[in-house]
Amino acid sequence: MLTELPLLPADPILGLSAAYHADTNPDKVDLGVGVYKTEQGNTPILACVKQAEAELYQNESSKVYTPPAGVPGANRAAAALAFGEQHAVIRDQRVATIQTPGGCGALRAAAELIAKAKPNATIWVSNPTWGNHVPLLSSAGITLKEYPYYDFNRQAIDFDAMLEALQQAGKDDLVLLHACCHNPSGADLTPNQWQQITELAAKRGFTPFIDMAYQGFGDGIVEDAYGVRLMADQLPELILATSFSKNLGLYRERTGSLSIVAPSATGAAASLSQILSITRGLYSMPPAHGSSLVDIIYHSESLHALWLQELTDMRERISGLREQLVGALNSTQQQMNFSFIAQQRGMFSFLGLSTAQVTRLKNEFSVYMTDNSRVNIAGVNGANLDYVSRAIGQVLS
């Protein structure tokens, strides 16, 4: 049976990483893989995580399964971070939150819930969007449609085209939105644009499906949840997938959550029962380590403060790198103005290079990025900034 399976090509990002590691050029630079990196090129374990792990090691007395929804304290933390501790959806018990294996697990579980609730539903996704959105959602058998989002010529959101397309979304549809730090463009909705989409959702009846993978990496914990909280204020329903991979550096621990906001507490309880039935058939019980750390850090005054400081340091480093990269690129060449990079948020931006230029960067300079010229800004540092800028200047000239 298995001999009939065809060989599939490597995932574009993972294949890029493999090519980078095989490259023997001492000046090679990896701007492809989407993980946070320090000035030294490391992806660190945060100090708050180290301390929480020490506390967990001392106090953990069993490896028995968690409850089906995961570590209760972590779920309370995830909901509070997303909506605010005093938000009406929490106070009125209109939100149901479960722990999932990373943000990917949240997206897939949500897709299965949508398919069960509305088999004929359509999910609208931005063009472009994160590469794994499509396989995660379509694997549940749901129809996907695209809405315009990023104008590559202007290096900005094409909001008029986005609104025009979403006028077609109806009451059985969902619209997938990036809460902040849009992956892969780095171009985020403004508060006014969030309000317009919220009003359109109320008018057309579609349900917001928000992916918040980078809370705290844009402008701050509260600021990055603006759209989530606004929609929870003004709409009866929404679906939210969140991740602690970036803002707590818990990549390999696969720590995420799925929250469903329902019109009533009864509806939230029903949604929770359905989600738990679905996840029982997907992965049975969620992993505990990462969520136990979230619980400890969020509910410890000292560790919570340390986490927010470390998160601020990461965010400000990325923001500073954007400014430095713009300065270096604009001083190295005159073919393009890269000032748009400093206006964007999070780890990603499109450089606006052609596939041929990206190939030259890889083959001639060992500078690695995806074919559409999406780069991880956190891959830049003081040691490689000039080299990367001069290489890009060379392929543009």
Amino acid at 96: A
End-to-end C-alpha distance for the chain, whole angstroms: 53
pLDDT at 300: 98
User: Is residue 33 pLDDT above 90, yes or no?
Assistant: no
User: Is residue 9 pLDDT above 90, yes or no?
Assistant: no
Q: Is 27 a catalytic residue?
A: no
pLDDT for 275-316, tens place per residue? 999 999 999 999 999 999 999 999 999 999 999 999 999 999
pLDDT at 11: 80
Q: Is 246 a catalytic residue?
A: yes
Tokens representing 236 are 């009866």
Q: What percent of the chain has pLDDT over 70?
A: 100
Chain-centroid distance of CA 270 in Å reads: 27
Which one of the listed residues 30, 211, 224, 295 is annotated catalytic?
Answer: 211
Query: Which domains does the chain possess?
Result: 10-45+304-396 (3.90.1150.10), 65-299 (3.40.640.10)
Tell me the pLDDT band of 342, cut-offs 50, 70 and 90.
Answer: very high
> If we measure between CA atoms, which residue out of 213, 215, 377, 190 comes closest to residue 312?
215
pLDDT at 14: 78
The SS3 of residue 30 is strand
pLDDT at 42: 94
Is the Cβ–Cβ distance between 136 and 111 less than 8 Å? yes
Helices 265-282 & 102-117 angle (0-180, nearest 10): 110
Average pLDDT over residues 352-371: 96
Which one of the listed residues 28, 37, 124, 130 is annotated catalytic?
Answer: 130
User: Is residue 192 pLDDT above 90, yes or no?
Assistant: yes
pTM, two decimals, is: 0.96
Tokens representing 122 are 């359509």
Is the Cβ–Cβ distance between 180 and 218 less than 8 Å? yes
DSSP single-letter state for residue 374: E
Cα gap 37→331, rounded to integer Å = 25
